[in-house]
Chain A
Amino acid sequence: MKEGALLKLLKNPTSKDKGFKLLVDLYQEKIYWMIRKMVLSHDSANDVLQDTYVRVFKGIDNFKEKSKLSTWIYRIAYNESIRFLNKESKMKKIELDSKDDNYSKKLFADTFFDADSLSLKFHQILSELSIRQRNIFNMKYFDELKFEEISKITDLNINTVKSVYYSVEKKIKKEINESSL
């Protein structure tokens, strides 16, 4: 179903529920994985996913169509994840340009994490990136979002997004190759 048709369903009070079900079917999995890579634990990702959809449901009537519907949902999920990380850190607001010191701790505490040596290497590299770099890399590499979409979701200039991604990609390739030698 095209976004325009879906939006029509969502904006009409009589078909809103039907439209919302379709919206959940379309994006639930993609949104979950984006959130999961940000918050790391499955339980936290589940909570943030639900909060995201509740916000989407409440806010759909005010959606101004300035971006694609999918970008708007990703942006809500991204902001909900940041909100969650801030709440989780309690003491201070998280700095997106600094590393997540609890990355490994959160990852290994999760029951739904089962890594082999390649995954561990990947995580080791990701844990050394700043939160912002990691998010940008994950959105492009794993979630296969376009640079333009990532720029809108993260509220960053598109050229910044591109340069961050390419530098991180280069670093990861180099480190993976070195470790496999």
Chain B
Amino acid sequence: MNHHFKKLGLKVPKDYFKISREEILDKTNLKKKQSTENYNLSYYYLSIAAVFIGTLIFYNFPLDNEKITEFDSNSPIISTVISGEEITDEYIIEFYSESVVLNEIYFGD
């Protein structure tokens, strides 16, 4: 292909065809490898995600339905949810003093 230089003055870098050959082979082979690696990675991450989600469900959601409605009704915050009142300092003080009174009424000696 020397006439490309002699007649047209076109040159290529040193060892170009050798380097280019490797680049072409890399490009075609890499694409294959990359796609299989991508599949392998996605299966790996999917299985980890599945185990993680399963663990979360197991430890956070009670299997017994009754437990779902179990909450501490003695808490002033929960009681505001039930009664629809605002949480204020006065409300909390009143709540505790009322519970002390009720305790005395029902459980007092």
Residues of A with Cβ closer than 8 Å to B?
17, 20-21, 24-25, 28-30, 32-33, 36-37, 42, 46, 49-50, 53-54, 57, 112-116, 118-120, 122-123, 142
Contact of A36 with B20 in the complex, beta carbons under 8 Å: no
Residue of A nearest to B18 (CB): A28
Which residues from B are CB-within-8-Å of A33?
Answer: 1, 4, 10
Which residues from B are CB-within-8-Å of A42?
Answer: 10-13
Contact of A118 with B20 in the complex, beta carbons under 8 Å: no
Residue of B nearest to A118 (CB): B7
| Of A25, A36, A118, A142, the contact of B21 (CB 8 Å cutoff) | A25
Residues of B with Cβ closer than 8 Å to A?
1, 3-13, 16-17, 20-21, 23-25, 27-29, 31
Contact of B27 with A24 in the complex, beta carbons under 8 Å: no
Give bound CA distance, A57 to B29, whole Å: 10
Lowest 5 CB-CB distances: which A-B pairs, in order? Answer: A115-B9, A119-B9, A112-B11, A57-B28, A53-B24
Contact of B20 with A119 in the complex, beta carbons under 8 Å: no
Residue of B nearest to A126 (CB): B8
Which residues from A are CB-within-8-Å of B28?
Answer: 20, 53-54, 57
Known: A21-B25, A115-B8. 18 other contacts (CB 8 A): A20-B25, A24-B21, A28-B24, A29-B17, A33-B4, A33-B10, A36-B10, A37-B8, A37-B10, A54-B28, A112-B10, A113-B11, A114-B5, A114-B9, A118-B7, A122-B7, A122-B8, A142-B7
Contact of A116 with B9 in the complex, beta carbons under 8 Å: yes
Give bound CA distance, A30 to B25, whole Å: 17
Contact of A112 with B13 in the complex, beta carbons under 8 Å: yes
Which residues from A are CB-within-8-Å of B4?
Answer: 33, 36-37, 142
Residue of A nearest to B8 (CB): A119
Give bound CA distance, A57 to B12, whole Å: 24
Give bound CA distance, A116 to B11, whole Å: 13
Give bound CA distance, A123 to B9, whole Å: 9
Contact of B10 with A28 in the complex, beta carbons under 8 Å: no
A51 CB → nearest B CB, Å: 9
Contact of B20 with A49 in the complex, beta carbons under 8 Å: yes
